[in-house]
Amino acid sequence: MGESKRRKQILGDTYGQTSFILIKGERQFEEHFQTFCQAWEQKLKEISGSSESGAELSEAEIQEKDQTFQTWLTQYLQDYRPQDRERLTGGLLDFLYGEMEKLEEEEDPEKLQQKVSNWVLEALTLFTLLKPHLTVEQQQDYAHPLLELYEIMLNEVKDEMPAEQKEEAQESLAEMFGVCLDIPAIEE
């Protein structure tokens, strides 16, 4: 048996395949991040455009679209080194979390409440999509502010809602924040 065949037998299916994309420097990372964001948006448009406008999706259709997107995301990220995957996925969440800080500038309480509600839905959706691709440490870091918001919203429900509506509202909040609730707390 020749040296090449022996090496192929030892290394298996990965023999001869190219290695991970190597990102060198901050400028090159920014280029990859921009490409990733554009591909992300394009894939979301493609997936959401495949359903009829205005038609409500069944649970099975939602799961199918989610699985399609997860498959695409996994395939997209697999070419990157683990630390670069972490930076790419974290970059999306960092941008969204940066938007939360801008909300603090809103002075109108009604507008603020609406903007915070929209932000929470966006953050939970994005966190849900990215969670399988985040490290345990990243999951804890990004879940922490969401869990704090969950506690604030839960306390508001307990303090301000009539007794007959509290249980339903608490269950709704727990379901909405469920993706974060199974993450162990950050040890301080």
Q: Does position 141 have pLDDT exceeding 80, yes or no? A: yes
Residue 143 neighbours by CB under 8 Å, 6+ apart: 127, 180, 183
Distance between start and end Cα atoms, the chain: 57
Is residue 33 within 8 Å of 91, Cβ to Cβ? yes
Name the maximum alpha-carbon separation found in the chain. 79
Q: How far is CA 130 from CA 37, 106, 180, in A?
A: 13, 28, 12
pTM of the predicted protein model: 0.77
Q: What is the pLDDT of residues 40-97, one digit of tens each?
A: 999 989 988 766 555 677 888 888 888 999 999 999 998 888 888 999 999 999 999 9
Instruction: For the chain, give the mean pLDDT.
Output: 83
Do 140 and 183 touch, CB atoms closer than 8 A? yes
pLDDT of residue 12: 58
What percent of the chain shows pLDDT beyond 90?
33
pLDDT at 15 over 80: no
Per-residue model confidence (pLDDT) at position 165: 82
pLDDT of residue 20: 66
